[in-house]
Amino acid sequence: WNNQPATTTSNQVTLATSTSTTQNYTNIDVTSLILDMRTNGNYGFLLKAIDETPYRSMTFASSNHSNAAIRPKLEICYNIVSGIGNMNRANFKVSVWPNPSSRNNVSVEILLQKPEKLTVQIFDINGRAISNIMSIKGVTGKNVLSVKPGVQPGVYLIKVSAGKEVVTQRLVVQ
């Protein structure tokens, strides 16, 4: 086994010593591991005994075990954006063009009902901040900002904040 991927003990989960040969470990909280995987782009679990001397072992039920209560399962609960419309419920409207665009230039038009501080940010599709492009004082009416994303081709989200309200638009970069 000299070809295992790198591992870390960060956010590791340690199980209590078993009290019988048929110990069932159910409801193990691996939330911190999953959050670490999502944040750092690492995916996978390493299961190993603290004492890996011969004749030490742990037995895990398979997904077709006769007792459904001990079959392994991983439940992950999260929120996902199901769609981003052009018109939002906010008191301002955002348009992004051209879309799809090149990596060099995108225009962001923001229609404000009153002067507000505007902040424009770009996020990747996983919600990681790519850049905080600008923060300006917007005026009533049309505000057109020229944005140079400078990102690799892909799908991104442009987040525009005006005061306490936020509008997000999808941006495709070719």
pLDDT digits (tens, 9 = 90+) for 98-145: 999 876 788 999 999 999 999 999 988 888 888 777 889 999 999 998
Instruction: State residue 87's pLDDT score.
Output: 43
Instruction: State how many domains the chain has.
Output: 2
How far apart CA 54 and CA 63 sit, in angstroms, is: 27
pLDDT digits (tens, 9 = 90+) for 81-90: 555 554 446 7
Listed residues 43, 78, 113: the one ending a domain: 78
Using the predicted structure, report yes or no on whether residue 150 has a pLDDT greater than 90.
no
pTM of the model: 0.49
How far apart CA 31 and CA 33 sit, in angstroms, is: 5
Average pLDDT value for residue range 138-166: 89
How far apart are the two ends of the chain, measured CA to CA in Å?
42
In-domain check, residue 1: no
80 falls in which pLDDT band (50, 70, 90)? low
CATH code, domain carrying 97 = 2.60.40.1930
Using the predicted structure, report yes or no on whether residue 1 has a pLDDT greater than 60.
no
How far apart CA 101 and CA 149 sit, in angstroms, is: 10
Place of tokens 């929120």: 79
Domain that holds residue 71: 8-78
- In this structure, are 106 and 159 located in the same domain? yes
- In this structure, are 136 and 160 located in the same domain? yes
* pLDDT averaged over every residue in the chain: 82
